[in-house]
Amino acid sequence: MLRQWVERRPGVDVSSSEVLARLEQDGWIVRTASPDDRRRSLVSLTVRGREEFDRRLEDHLAVERELLSVLDSRERLVVVGALRKLLLVLEASE
């Protein structure tokens, strides 16, 4: 999932392992070896990572509310429907 997210960012030339290494260095995640496959890692948020995620999520939701505030209820329904359709396409490509 992380690799797909990074690959979808135009102009970004970074591997998922580089992203994870940076997140780990910043204290946001911990990686442990998978018990099923030692070549894979299990990634978990640290307390600090969870706090940062929650803070950024709140910022994101505030921007989203501000953007959607200019739309009436019918227009919001159209946007939500279009976003759901796009999400289905993204999920199907995984």
This prediction has a pTM of: 0.57
Residue 79 has pLDDT above 90, yes or no: yes
pLDDT digits (tens, 9 = 90+) for 21-63: 999 999 999 999 989 988 888 999 999 999 999 999 999 999 9
Place of tokens 């299990």: 42
Asked if 27 and 45 touch (Cβ cutoff 8 Å), the reply is no
